[in-house]
């Protein structure tokens, strides 16, 4: 039997099983935590901070593998990283363009880990990737990881990225229409017990396609990073986790004022479709034992701000709505620190800020650090126990 799809007849996402439909799935188990805990891997040179202050942070696979294994030992729920397509030299300065591929990196980690979820950031519209390829790759990784693999779906925001693949950048909202077709087809291939044919708006087609093995828990985990109306609509329909930024910028006081309304908007968009999503935010955590040590560390990072990297960001045009407005006289300082939002203080102060974020509707923290190895160790030793005492993480 061949099931044939024609444009305009695609079935809504609510007919497909999701990992949350299975109580024993890794995602359902992670959602038992009061707040999700993730690590935003630095698989690109410079990590997330435009500063030259010496540090261990490195883009290599061995370094990132060690981070993932340490995060898993600490009980983190998930890890993912960016997907970067830039010309020679990258953004410049510490962001010199050296970067691993997120898909390949997390795929390689599926057989080296036991519990942590591994999310591959994938530009689903770029290059020769076909949904049948990705459905088979994803089903295989789901099988290897026993349901711990997923996709962070992105459509690209810099013109230079599209041009590298021979495209002209298209109007902001249209890629989400194409991505919706892509995800619908993936779900059909993962869920259908019969052959499937498809022809839609995009250039790829399927004729009698079929994929095995079927994912263990309906389909792999789906994540979407967004801030635009079109992106939120897409995430509300398809995602389990929505990776958001602060509309108020990275300063904590400014962010905490606007996040409650923003998270409410994202969650309500899903509820209007009969779904529930969780929000995930990326804090850059700077912490030491005392306030003086913490701010000395912060000030040293800022004092070594890389003057070249910000020029690269302005050189490559972006239409990302989530990052609009992050300019001004303090932009070089903010870029030196990095992250969607800055969480700075002693361990006790960091946990207090995490509590405020949870009250603002944040369901998960995808952490970044300046010196990942050293700072993750400090987090595990001093901050994580306090999170458990505060009821943010379950006692183990």
Residue 7 has pLDDT above 50, yes or no: no
CATH of the domain at 273: 3.20.20.30
Q: Give whole-number Cα distances, 347 to 180, 350, 386, in Å.
A: 42, 5, 8
Contact 345, 291 (CB under 8 A): yes
Residue 166, pLDDT score: 78
- Which value, to the nearest 10 degrees, does the dihedral of the CA atoms of residues 177, 223, 263, 342 take? -120
The model's confidence at residue 6, banded by pLDDT at 50, 70 and 90, is very low
Query: What is the per-residue pLDDT across 301-330, written as a single tens digit (0 to 9) for each?
Result: 999 999 887 665 666 555 554 445 444 556
In a domain, 67, yes or no: yes
Contact 76, 105 (CB under 8 A): no
Q: Which of 224, 222, 266, 245 is nearest to 117 (CA)?
A: 222
Domain limits at 45? 2-282+302-342
| Weakest mean pLDDT among 7-16, 35-44, 92-101, 370-379 | 7-16
Q: What is the mean pLDDT of residues 178-196?
A: 94
In a domain, 108, yes or no: yes
In a domain, 372, yes or no: no
- In the numeric block, which tokens belong to residue 312? 């690269």
In a domain, 362, yes or no: no
In a domain, 151, yes or no: yes
Between the two ends of the chain, the Cα-to-Cα distance in Å is 50
Residue 5 has pLDDT above 50, yes or no: no
Q: Which of 60, 43, 67 is nearest to 373 (CA)?
A: 67
Q: What is the pTM of this model?
A: 0.91
In a domain, 225, yes or no: yes
- In the numeric block, which tokens belong to residue 24? 């024993």
Domain count, the chain: 1
In a domain, 296, yes or no: no
Residue 353 has pLDDT above 70, yes or no: yes
Query: What is the per-residue pLDDT across 330-349, written as a single tens digit (0 to 9) for each?
Result: 677 888 999 899 999 999 99
Residue 169 has pLDDT above 90, yes or no: no
Measured distance CA(42)–CA(59) in Å, rounded: 6
In a domain, 238, yes or no: yes
Q: How many CA atoms lie within 13 A of 312 on its CB side?
A: 18
The model's confidence at residue 396, banded by pLDDT at 50, 70 and 90, is confident
Query: What is the per-residue pLDDT across 241-291, written as a single tens digit (0 to 9) for each?
Result: 999 999 999 999 999 999 999 999 999 999 999 999 999 999 999 999 999
* E strands, 292-347, in order: 341-344
């Amino acid at each position: 039997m061949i099931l044939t799809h024609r444009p305009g007849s695609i079935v809504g996402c609510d007919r497909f099983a999701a990992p949350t439909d299975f109580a024993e799935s890794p995602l359902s188990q992670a959602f038992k935590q009061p707040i999700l805990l993730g690590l935003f891997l630095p698989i690109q040179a410079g990590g997330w901070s435009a500063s030259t202050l010496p540090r261990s942070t490195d883009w290599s696979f061995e370094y990132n593998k060690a981070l993932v294994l340490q995060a898993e030992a600490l009980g983190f729920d998930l890890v993912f990283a960016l997907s970067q397509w830039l010309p020679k030299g990258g953004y410049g300065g510490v962001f010199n363009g050296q970067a691993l591929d997120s898909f390949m990196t997390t795929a390689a980690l599926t057989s080296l880990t036991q519990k942590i979820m591994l999310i591959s950031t994938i530009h689903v519209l770029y290059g020769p990737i076909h949904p049948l390829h990705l459905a088979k790759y994803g089903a295989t990784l789901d099988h290897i990881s026993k349901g711990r693999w997923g996709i962070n779906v992105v459509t690209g925001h810099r013109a230079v990225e599209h041009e590298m693949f021979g495209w002209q950048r298209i109007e902001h909202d249209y890629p989400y229409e194409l991505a919706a077709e892509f995800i619908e087809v993936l779900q059909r291939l993962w869920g259908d017990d019969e052959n499937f044919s498809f022809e839609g708006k995009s250039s790829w087609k399927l004729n009698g396609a079929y994929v095995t093995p079927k994912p263990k828990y309906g389909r792999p985990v789906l994540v979407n990073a967004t801030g635009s109306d079109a992106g939120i609509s897409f995430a509300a329909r398809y995602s389990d986790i929505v990776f958001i930024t602060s509309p108020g910028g990275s300063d904590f006081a400014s962010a905490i004022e606007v996040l409650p309304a923003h998270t409410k908007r994202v969650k309500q968009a899903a509820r209007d479709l009969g779904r529930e999503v969780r929000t995930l935010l990326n804090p850059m955590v700077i912490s030491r034992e005392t306030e003086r040590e913490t701010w000395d560390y912060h000030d040293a990072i800022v004092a070594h701000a890389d003057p070249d990297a910000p020029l690269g960001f302005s050189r490559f045009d972006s239409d990302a709505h989530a990052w609009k407005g992050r300019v001004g006289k303090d932009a070089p300082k903010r870029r030196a620190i990095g992250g969607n939002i800055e969480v700075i203080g002693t361990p006790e102060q960091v946990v207090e800020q995490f509590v405020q974020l949870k009250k603002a509707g944040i369901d998960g923290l995808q952490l970044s650090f300046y010196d990942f190895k050293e700072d993750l160790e400090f987090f595990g030793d001093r901050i994580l126990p306090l999170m458990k005492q505060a009821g943010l993480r379950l006692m183990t």
